[in-house]
Amino acid sequence: MTTEKFHDANPQAGPAGDGGHSEGALQDVQTLVFRTLIGIMPDRIYAKDLQGRFILANHAVANLMGKRTPEEMLGKTDFDFYPEELAAEYFAVEQALLSSGKPLIACEQYVPNLSTGEPGWIETTKVHLRDPEGNVIGLVGLARDVTERKRIDAELLSRNKELTEVNAKLFQAQEQLLQAEKMASLGQLAAGVAHEINNPVGFVSSNLGSLERYIEDLFKLLAACEAHEHELKADTLAALQTLKQDIDIAFLREDVMSLLRESMEGMQRVKQIVQDLKDFSHVGEAERQWANLERGLDSTLNMVRNEVKYKAEVIKEYAGVPDIECVPSQLNQVFMNLIVNAAHAIEERGTITVRTGSDAEKVWVEVVDTGSGISKDHLPRIFEPFYTTKPVGKGTGLGLSLSYGIVQRHRGSIEVTSEVGKGSCFRVTLPIQYAGA
Does residue 247 form part of some domain? yes
Compute the radius of gyration of the chain from its Cα atoms.
Answer: 45
Task: Let me know whether 172 and 133 are in one domain.
Answer: no
DSSP 15: P
Does residue 301 form part of some domain? yes
pLDDT tens digits, one per residue of 254-313: 888 888 888 888 887 777 776 666 655 554 455 788 999 999 899 888 878 888 888 889
- Which strand (E) or helix (H) includes residue 202? helix 147-227
Mean pLDDT (the chain) is: 79
Span 145-172, mean pLDDT? 85
Task: Let me know whether 347 and 203 are in one domain.
Answer: no
| Neighbour tally for 331: CB within 10 Å | 25
What's the pLDDT band for 13 if we cut at 50, 70, 90?
A: very low
The burial class, CB within 10 Å (0-12 / 13-18 / 19+), for 143 is buried
**Is it the case that residue 328 has pLDDT exceeding 90?**
no
Task: Let me know whether 81 and 102 are in one domain.
Answer: yes
Which residue, among 404, 191, 197, has the nearest Cα to 280 in the 3D structure? 191
Lowest mean pLDDT among 69-73, 313-317, 339-343: 69-73
Note down the domain range covering 340: 285-437
Considering its fold, how many domains does the chain have in total?
3
Task: Let me know whether 418 and 295 are in one domain.
Answer: yes
| Residues in Cβ contact with 203 at an 8 Å cutoff, skipping those fewer than 6 apart | none
**Is it the case that residue 6 has pLDDT exceeding 50?**
no
**What pTM did the predictor assign?**
0.43
What's the pLDDT band for 319 if we cut at 50, 70, 90?
A: very high
C-alpha–C-alpha distance, residues 366 and 354, integer Å: 6
The burial class, CB within 10 Å (0-12 / 13-18 / 19+), for 191 is middle
Does residue 36 form part of some domain? no
**Is it the case that residue 11 has pLDDT exceeding 70?**
no
CA 404 to chain centroid, in Å, comes to 10
Give the domain-ending residue among 284, 315, 343. 284
pLDDT tens digits, one per residue of 192-204: 666 677 778 777 8
Lowest mean pLDDT among 4-18, 105-119, 236-250, 407-421: 4-18
Does residue 95 form part of some domain? yes
CATH code of the domain containing 414: 3.30.565.10
CB 42 within 8 A of CB 5: no
- Which strand (E) or helix (H) includes residue 226? helix 147-227
CB 393 within 8 A of CB 406: no
Span 331-359, mean pLDDT? 90
Which residue, among 333, 305, 304, 307, has the nearest Cα to 428 in the 3D structure? 333
**Is it the case that residue 430 has pLDDT exceeding 90?**
yes
CA 280 to chain centroid, in Å, comes to 27
**Is it the case that residue 12 has pLDDT exceeding 60?**
no
C-alpha–C-alpha distance, residues 432 and 358, integer Å: 9
Task: Let me know whether 182 and 202 are in one domain.
Answer: yes
CATH code of the domain containing 48: 3.30.450.20
| Residues in Cβ contact with 59 at an 8 Å cutoff, skipping those fewer than 6 apart | 1, 39, 40, 69, 70
Task: Let me know whether 191 and 270 are in one domain.
Answer: yes
pLDDT tens digits, one per residue of 92-136: 988 888 888 777 776 777 777 776 777 778 788 888 888 888 888
Task: Let me know whether 301 and 420 are in one domain.
Answer: yes
Give the domain-ending residue among 284, 317, 340. 284
Task: Let me know whether 421 and 295 are in one domain.
Answer: yes
Does residue 23 form part of some domain? no
- The neighbouring-strand residues paired with 284 are none
The residue among 318 and 170 whose pLDDT is bigger is 318
User: Which pLDDT does position 179 carry in this prediction?
Assistant: 61
How many percent of the chain have pLDDT more than 70? 80
Number of residues in the chain = 437
**Is it the case that residue 184 has pLDDT exceeding 70?**
no
The CA distances from residue 16 to 21, 26, 30, in Å, are 9, 15, 21
User: Which pLDDT does position 7 carry in this prediction?
Assistant: 36
Task: Give 83-147 as a DSSP string.
Answer: -HHHHHHHHHHHHHHHHH---EEEEEEE---TTT----EEEEEEEEEE-TT--EEEEEEEEEE-H
C-alpha–C-alpha distance, residues 63 and 120, integer Å: 13
**Is it the case that residue 322 has pLDDT exceeding 90?**
yes
User: Which pLDDT does position 52 carry in this prediction?
Assistant: 92
C-alpha–C-alpha distance, residues 173 and 214, integer Å: 59
Give the domain-ending residue among 145, 176, 200. 145
The residue among 15 and 50 whose pLDDT is bigger is 50
Does residue 365 form part of some domain? yes
C-alpha–C-alpha distance, residues 192 and 194, integer Å: 5
CB 226 within 8 A of CB 237: no
- The neighbouring-strand residues paired with 109 are 122
Does residue 126 form part of some domain? yes
**Is it the case that residue 9 has pLDDT exceeding 80?**
no
Does residue 8 form part of some domain? no
Task: Let me know whether 315 and 365 are in one domain.
Answer: yes
CB 44 within 8 A of CB 145: yes
Task: Let me know whether 291 and 280 are in one domain.
Answer: no
Task: Let me know whether 348 and 260 are in one domain.
Answer: no
User: Which pLDDT does position 429 carry in this prediction?
Assistant: 94
**Is it the case that residue 82 has pLDDT exceeding 90?**
no
**Is it the case that residue 5 has pLDDT exceeding 50?**
no
Task: Let me know whether 66 and 87 are in one domain.
Answer: yes
